[in-house]
Amino acid sequence: MQKLLEIKNLKVHFPLKKNLFSKNQVVYAVDNVSFDVYAGETIGIVGESGCGKSSLARSLVGLNKITSGEVVFLTNEHLEKASVAKWHKYREDIQFIFQDPVASLNPRMTVAEIIAEPLEIYNPTLTKVEVMNRVVAIMKLVGLSVNQINRYPLEFSGGQCQRIGIARALILKPKLIICDESVSALDASIKAQIINLLKDLQKQLNLTIIFISHDLSVVKHICDRVLVMYLGNIMELSTKNILYTKSHHPYSSALLSAVPIANPDVERKKVIKLLEGELPSSINPPAGCVFNSRCPKADDKCRMSRPPVSVLEDASLVACFHPD
């Protein structure tokens, strides 16, 4: 498979402003993360709130500044070194779908204006008729009625607003789509429609998708591989079949044990692996393995040194001294 995106030792740190009574502090949002994204796949990124999922995603489109590391796009384009002009070029191929479908749309612009805006910026030579023809085509593709073309975002439901956001992202025919919790604000039935729409669009347009979510059931349905993050670090990266049948990291196992099962008889007998303690601060992460303060397998080695990301026999990547 062609490697579309290569991420090496990525760090995204946010310095906190100090005052007279505090010391310099840094939020270690993403800390030394490495993985590859292949053309045509959907890779999911999961973890608790505050684990660095969104910070990682936003750094891949230039919304967060990369502190260090490499992000290589299409084998030779280094995003971490990109100028403003270069980022303008890259965003034609890398588009972002935001979490809040309503807030991500300009309430003063019509649907036609919202969807057409990227096209007008990147293809200024197109006539108004050509632009509108493409807008109409993409609206039909995402399930919007052409009769809605002159309406405003506040006249639409959350699911329809997300379809508008998807159409805006796809109008430039990008190679990579990053979905940051793009269905979390929707109810169950609409969520299923948007997920199925993304799957259909991926097949039709040969898209590559990075899909960020808290919902492990949704991730299982749409993703090919799953990256598990904790406190800015990779815990595990596996295919969905391996992760959901035999996860290797204790943190992955704990997350999966909390996923609801549709069969009530099985659900009643299920054992949820509760994690003790609270998520540590990303300003002052634990020494050694960042998960050691909540891990049932932690020993002195885990508290003293950080485990490297190792490749197991089934090709899974796991950062643990005691994988299952």
- Distance separating alpha carbons of residues 9 and 18, to the nearest angstrom: 27
HSE-CB for 191 with a 13 A CA cutoff: 17
Return the bridge partners of 212, or none.
Answer: 45, 180
Terminal Cα-to-Cα distance of the chain (whole angstroms) = 29
Tokens of 304: 């003293």
* Strand pairing report for 3-16 and 25-38: antiparallel
Determine the pLDDT at residue 262: 67
Angle CA(45)–CA(51)–CA(55) in degrees, nearest 5? Answer: 75
Name the pLDDT band for 264 (thresholds 50, 70, 90).
low
Question: Is the distance from CB of 310 to CB of 319 less than 8 angstroms?
Answer: yes
How far is the C-alpha of 232 from the C-alpha of 284, rounded, in Å?
Answer: 12
What's the pLDDT tens digit per position in 15-51?
Answer: 887 766 667 789 999 999 999 999 999 999 999 888 8
Instruction: Answer yes or no: are the C-beta atoms of 105 and 161 closer than 8 Å.
Output: yes
Which residue do the tokens 């002009």 mark? Answer: 85
Residue at token pair 């303060």:
293
Condensed to tens digits (0 to 9), the pLDDT of residues 125-177 reads 999 999 999 999 999 999 999 999 999 999 998 889 999 999 999 999 999 99
Q: What is the mean pLDDT of residues 65-86?
A: 88
| Burial (CB count within 10 angstroms: exposed 0-12, middle 13-18, buried 19+), residue 132 | middle
Whole-number average pLDDT of the chain: 89
Predicted confidence at residue 187, as pLDDT, reads: 79
Q: How far is Cα 260 from Cα 175, in angstroms, rounded to an integer? A: 34
Q: Which residue has the tokens 């049932």?
A: 296
Q: Which residues contact 85 (CB under 8 A, 6 or more apart)?
A: none
b (16+ CB within 10 A) / e for 223-259: bebbbbbbbbbbbbbbebebbbeebbbbbbbbbbeee
| pLDDT tens per residue across span 42-55 | 999 999 888 899 99
Angle (CA) 10-11-15 rounded to 5° is 165
Region label for 78, one of left (φ > 0), alpha (ψ between -120 and 50) or beta (otherwise): beta
Local confidence band at 266 (pLDDT 50, 70, 90 cut-offs): low
One-letter amino acid of 68: S
- Model confidence at 267: pLDDT above 90: no
